[in-house]
Structure 1
Amino acid sequence: MRFVRRLCIDELTGWQHKYDTLVGHKLVKEMVVRDVNHPSILFWDNGNEGGFNFQLDNDYALYDPQKRTVLHPWSNFNGVDTHHYPDYNGIVKATAAKDIFMPTEFMHGLYDGGAGAGLEDFWDKMMKHPQAAGGFIWALVDEDVIRTDRNNTYDGIGNRAPDGIPGPHREKEGSFYTIKEIWSPVYIHPEPIDKTFNGKITVENRYTFTKLSQCKFKWQLVKLPSATAKTTKAIATATGVPLPLELQPGQKGTLNLHLPANWATSDALYLTAYGTHGEELFTRSWAIKAPAAVAKAPVAGSNVAIKGQLTDNELVVKSDGKTYYFDKTTGYIEKVVKGGKEISLSGGPVLAGVNTTLKSFTYNAEGKAFVVEADYRGEATLHVKWTFAPGKRVKLDYTYTQTGDFDYLGITFNYPEEKVTGMKWLGRGPYRVWQNRLPGQQFGVWHKAYNNTITGQDWGYPEFKGYHGEVNWAVIENKESPFTVYMDNKNMYLQMYKPAVEKDLVKNVQPAFPAGNIGFLNAISAIGTKFRASNKMGPQSQKAHADGTPVSNTLWFEF
């Protein structure tokens, strides 16, 4: 059976090869007689992907008083187009046609691709057209089995089994939460909180039969811990239960949270929708403060003027007991030394994915501060300005200009992967994101230890490596000395290394990553599915376009 919100289609198997007619007659009778009284069954399936025995099509009605429609999944039959794995343009064309459109497989969840990735664009298009009846994701779980003849290891038959939303023991992937948000029957619209926010949220009743007044909501305003705190737990500053909203199935409305007057002093807002049995449907979260306004702990330091010293190959800057080394030939930071311990941050900032050459490298004192600047030219431009001031974090201002379409935009550094032990951050989490799979992650403070998990090949979730969304600050935990990076700009992505490659490589689910391994990015790459490259998966899956407008960001480093 294939399920969607407790509604399902009941399938006579026969994948790509049909049952012979003699056996098929018996199997159809047994299946329909067994399941005919299940109210959740909407359709019967006569085979799958070419496994259709047309001699059996009329048998279903013999045992079904409702004479429910018979489908041929993968084809257009009985007025229902069940096309498998269309690209985004295929969705556009199908929803404009006259037949009911219900792809019985339309997102293929191989490894970390498909499933939730690209789903929002597909679903938004389908929700706008009445002839779009829904769709089915392949598959529910990774279908790995334990091989007792192979030392009890899991066997996924190469890339044939890791198609699930969770793993073989229901280990949840990032796409699980994306699907939960997008397919929530009470859909909370993700408008950002800005200066015009008045405590009112747009909601939509996507139930088929249930009125929204049968559901409940609860909101929380919270304070979030700082980068130096030993906890990641949010502290509620206020809670509330909005009055029920009377919306019929399919209707949109505005939910008034009636927030307290001082709501803007909190760090984040959480809004949870509950179903008719009290089950949590989904929690939407919003950052209230801009990253630059997030509280930072005081920095210990002196009032002594910062000095720089030039050698044949390096510029050495000493500030508040720390020493910073820059390569004169590249302009890149080489390392930081603190209390005799070396912090191996190097190789940046580099403009991700484009070739540039150092054109100028300057340094000078500005009062008690010391400024290091570098200019790069080539396929793009990059201006870098480091400011070292007594008793303050190291400030990095940078501006870049690019023209064209790119997998990612921003800057990167290098740090030895073997020395990293974990990360703590304020942003979306705890799972990584892709450009076409941003929904599902909650805003808060998160922590995870280093791992080298390969989605669908092993199941140590959440994965450590990859892109992380809406990051305000991050603590890079390591074997040398932890360091923290704060971001002043909204909607920044943090890249933490590059995920390892699966044993059975499928190019579509191997997104592009910068050469550097710690990145601060304004745009990130999308991921495809088993059968579709990411650029075929809709507007959110396209490369980022840069039109030459300067992009400026500020980072603060605390070593």
Structure 2
Amino acid sequence: MSARLLLLLGGLLCLQTVLAQETRRIYLSGTDKDHTVDWDFYCSGGQRSGKHTTIAVPSNWEQQGFGGYNYGHDKVKADEQGFYRYRFPAPANWQQRQVNIVFDGVMTDATIKINGKLAGPVHQGGFYRFKYDISSLLRSGSNLLEVKVSKQSADAGVNRAERNGDFWVLGGIYRPVFLEVKPLVHIDHVAINATANGDFSVQTFTSALPAGCTLSAQVFTMNGQPVQEAVQVPGANGQVYTLRQSVSHPATWSAEFPNRYQAVIQLKKGAQVLHSVTQPFGFRTIEIRPRDGIYVNDTRVMLKGVNRHSAWPETGRTLSKAISILDVNLMKDMNINAVRMSHYPPDEHFLDVCDSLGLFVLDELTGWQGAYDTVVGHRLVRELVERDVNHPSVIFWDNGNEGGFNRALDGDFAEYDPQLRPVLHPWERYNGLDTRHYPDFSYVVNSSLYDQDILMPTEFMHGLYDGGHGAGLPDFWERMLQHPRCAGGFLWAFADEGLVRRDKHDSIDTDGNHAPDGIVGPHREKEGSFYAIKTTWSPVHISLPVISSGFNGRVPVENRYDYTSLAQCRFRWQLLRLPSPGKNNKADTIAAGTIPAPDLAPHAKGFLQLALPGNWQQADVLYITAQDPYGREIVTHSWPLQSPRKAANSFPGGAQQNVVTTNSGDTVIVHHADAAYYFSRSSGQLLQMMTSKGKISLSGGPVLAGIKQELQQFEVTPTNGGCTINARYEGKGFLQVKWTFQPGVSAAHLEYSYSIKGETPFTGITFRYPEEKVKGLGWIGEGPYRVWKNRLQGQQFGSWYKAYNNTITGESWEYPEFKGYHANVYRATFHTTEQDLTFYTGNEGTFLQIFHPQPPRGASNNNTNPAFPDGDIGFMNTIAPIGTKFQQAALMGPESQANGQLNYTPVRGEIWISF
């Protein structure tokens, strides 16, 4: 038998032996929000107070209908207490074991009693795992656990750091409670340092060891295959032992390739295994290289990060591994490679998922603009690091946030972390990094030109409502890529922190404008910025603005991965024929194929070569999709292959009878095909339309969006059985309008030209139409989300439909939003209570304006409420950008500037109106 097979068999036998000697974990509570256990409960104040009942554990008691709600900014906060009781059995043989009771998270002060006796000192700090040795307090048979939880801490520093933070402050035993049952002689915990070059060491902390004990460590793959033979050290008088070995050419851990191993650490006496611990880990090295960048495994990385709070609407901070998997997958789907644990440590299962799927993590000690006092802080740093030290995803420790730093604690992290991860002070310059929050575009430019510190804003592009995030990000990101000392940054924030308020008829509350900051909603509903970020941060960067008739299948591409060759990715193309826009209409695939993956190293540039069929120009749209080495979609790009004018020729023909015009006072009526068009001589505007099905209330246009002008000319002219109407308006600039009605053509043709000089938020023409009559919209163009001038990325050219909604982004969550600007629209059909109304555009790049998005109720400024024309339906050549909570759009970069015209060169356009 080969030595390798013998080693493998020996390793598997070793693992079987280990399983019999590992720590037993026995849950007294449930394990997550979906699996709870009822405990006896009494609440001292607020809702449902003053009576003995039961409560689900784990949970935040507010979400179970107890106590009172507060956001951290509230000056006066509820201070109720919760009293828990639970009975659990203890077998007689536990007298030969050490039994610890472990609380994964309690808000905020916790007093623990077993059978009427204190288990230990009151624990203060709501986001940390803590435990007590209760071996001596247990009785054989039934045991009574009593927990008193004070929502407000008796320690002013804890309240300052936690209860006054920029997040909801909740109460209760909100993470699991369990017993650890170990041998009396045991391993308490381990701390691993495994570097990218294969050096492996593990600090092993034990109980007092009797003579003759040894400790060993062996590295296995995650499927149990041994990598090296075990290393061993003898037990001595101490209780900390370090075991070292070297692994040749390990598969290193990174966000792109999250390779993991597991270490089996055994405590033996002779051949007998007394206790065993199995700990997953990764070989990974993190460095800050001053005036250069952040290096992981000797490779400079750019962190495409987001901030995450731990929250779910119905259950507050009580989550589940399923939510952790959901959230990490959503981040990976946006091509995000890093996450900051703002403003407190997460559930451990979230870090497990980051380890396995691959995200760089900034793990954070609580402290938002207020820090822990030193005595409590020393203990909480230890609890934070000891729990999370072995996660390869964690590459930084954050000591508080935005001034919530206790600098006396900076050195504590290294005491418990053999990897010596760097410590950050998010928001300030520290440790060679400038983590300034919410820099504007000029700050990034100046930093790239003059600053010597590494730029890595730990909060930027504040995503209040529909602002920030994807809006302005392309400008920021391209400048960051050019920055010689930039390490990326972290968007604020991942999800709207909306709570279901049990005291407000189960409505979702984001505390005004304090918490609707997400790329996704409270239940992870995707905003438009989700797709803009996905495209902007795609590691497969495709730069091909248009496809012309001479296209040879060659597409420029840049590899923006840090570790992955594009040869490891997969590419495919599709040629589609688009249907008429409708609720259930789907595109037809004319042809499809794969694209040879170019062998481009990280940060190299090259080309994709498409082998398209000879009839490719007959298709409506070309799609190219890239997938990563795991099959996850990286990005999909689309290009229309036909002109909008060709699409406009698809409307049905009309009757051949001549066009007839009549007059009624100020009104000119044009009878064309099966419709009548009513115009005002005094305004030159359309008043309404009538068909055999009834009235169509399109009116009040066309007018020049946002510009007041006076009618100078109005003429009705017969032309070869048809009719034209010409109108000219002047004021600031001019608008020239020409309506054409022809026999045999069912649609009315509108041509227009206008000129405006100077800066404007938008340009184009608009009409009026009653919003209450609209049921839905089908269109061919970019979709399905609305766009802003500085957030055009992420939409696909196709055939789309959406029902009417009045969503206010971040205050309601029916997405995609109906109202707003839609890009590159060729055709749009409004489904109304009157009859369907269809517009065809004749110009590429036309934006369709649909009504006016309602301003958010909680907005304190207009940064995230861009200007819109007075009209209801508009055909725009330029549109407005959107800003962030803290910055006007003009500070967010070139794409975010107002629209400017230096002279009076006319802008021309045309549309057709059909029924």
CA gap 1:190/1:20 in 2 versus in 1, 3 angstroms: farther
1:418 matched residue in structure 2:
772
| 1:297-376 alignment, distance < 5 Å | 297-339=650-692, 341-376=694-729
CA distance in 2, matches of 1:174, 1:460: 12
| 1:444-455 alignment, distance < 5 Å | 444-455=798-809
2:153 matched residue in structure 1:
none
| Displacement after TM superposition at 1:35 (Å) | 1.9
CA distance in 1, matches of 2:832, 2:786: 20
Gaps of 5+ in 2: 1-306, 309-337, 340-357
CA distance in 1, matches of 2:562, 2:693: 65
- Contact 2:583 2:800 (C-alpha < 8 Å) held by counterparts: no
Give the secondary structure class of the aligned counterpart of 2:414.
Answer: helix
1:173 matched residue in structure 2:
527
1:6 matched residue in structure 2:
359
Residue number among 530, 547, 553 corresponding to 2:909 in the alignment: 553
The one-character-per-residue Cα deviations of 1:293-322 (angstroms, maximum 9, x if unpaired) are 226445242222212122321111111121
Give the secondary structure class of the aligned counterpart of 2:808.
Answer: coil
Give the secondary structure class of the aligned counterpart of 1:31.
Answer: helix
User: How high is the TM-score relative to the length of structure 1?
Assistant: 0.98
- Contact 1:226 1:295 (C-alpha < 8 Å) held by counterparts: no
| Displacement after TM superposition at 1:64 (Å) | 2.2
The one-character-per-residue Cα deviations of 1:301-347 (angstroms, maximum 9, x if unpaired) are 22222121223211111111211100111000000000150100000
Residue number among 509, 533, 544 corresponding to 2:888 in the alignment: 533
| Displacement after TM superposition at 1:394 (Å) | 0.8
Give the secondary structure class of the aligned counterpart of 1:136.
Answer: strand
The answer to whether structure 1 residue 146 and structure 2 residue 500 are counterparts is yes
Give the secondary structure class of the aligned counterpart of 1:122.
Answer: helix
1:19 matched residue in structure 2:
372
2:867 matched residue in structure 1:
512
CA distance in 2, matches of 1:360, 1:522: 24
CA distance in 1, matches of 2:848, 2:770: 16
CA distance in 2, matches of 1:430, 1:63: 50
- Equivalent pairs counted in the alignment come to 558
The answer to whether structure 1 residue 123 and structure 2 residue 477 are counterparts is yes
CA gap 1:286/1:340 in 2 versus in 1, 3 angstroms: closer
CA distance in 2, matches of 1:340, 1:140: 48
CA distance in 2, matches of 1:135, 1:410: 37
Residue number among 232, 237, 248 corresponding to 2:585 in the alignment: 232
CA distance in 1, matches of 2:550, 2:852: 39
Give the root-mean-square deviation of aligned CA atoms.
Answer: 1.4
1:278 matched residue in structure 2:
631
CA distance in 1, matches of 2:389, 2:445: 35
Code of the residue aligned with 1:410 in structure 2: it is: G
Code of the residue aligned with 2:725 in structure 1: it is: V
CA distance in 2, matches of 1:196, 1:22: 72
The one-character-per-residue Cα deviations of 1:408-428 (angstroms, maximum 9, x if unpaired) are 000000000111111100001
Runs of 4+ in 1 over 6 A off after TM superposition: none
The one-character-per-residue Cα deviations of 1:253-277 (angstroms, maximum 9, x if unpaired) are 1111121222111110111111111
CA gap 1:144/1:94 in 2 versus in 1, 3 angstroms: same
CA distance in 2, matches of 1:255, 1:374: 50
1:200 matched residue in structure 2:
554
Code of the residue aligned with 2:439 in structure 1: it is: P
The one-character-per-residue Cα deviations of 1:484-521 (angstroms, maximum 9, x if unpaired) are 11011000000000011212123210100000010000
| 1:382-461 alignment, distance < 5 Å | 382-392=735-745, 393-461=747-815
Give the secondary structure class of the aligned counterpart of 1:24.
Answer: helix
CA distance in 2, matches of 1:140, 1:439: 18
| 1:53-92 alignment, distance < 5 Å | 53-92=406-445
Code of the residue aligned with 1:349 in structure 2: it is: P
User: How high is the TM-score relative to the length of structure 2?
Assistant: 0.60
The farther-off stretch of 57-66 and 438-447 is 57-66
CA gap 1:298/1:488 in 2 versus in 1, 3 angstroms: closer
| Displacement after TM superposition at 1:526 (Å) | 0.6
| Displacement after TM superposition at 1:190 (Å) | 4.2
Code of the residue aligned with 2:554 in structure 1: it is: K
1:487 matched residue in structure 2:
841
- Contact 1:226 1:297 (C-alpha < 8 Å) held by counterparts: no
Gaps of 5+ in 1: none
The farther-off stretch of 182-191 and 11-20 is 182-191
Give the secondary structure class of the aligned counterpart of 1:67.
Answer: coil
- Contact 2:828 2:839 (C-alpha < 8 Å) held by counterparts: yes
Give the secondary structure class of the aligned counterpart of 1:509.
Answer: coil
Larger Rg: 2
The farther-off stretch of 417-426 and 51-60 is 51-60
The one-character-per-residue Cα deviations of 1:213-244 (angstroms, maximum 9, x if unpaired) are 111011101111135x7743111111111112
| Sequence identity (%) | 51
- Contact 2:549 2:617 (C-alpha < 8 Å) held by counterparts: no
Give the secondary structure class of the aligned counterpart of 1:27.
Answer: helix
| Displacement after TM superposition at 1:355 (Å) | 1.1
Code of the residue aligned with 1:137 in structure 2: it is: L
| Displacement after TM superposition at 1:34 (Å) | 2.0
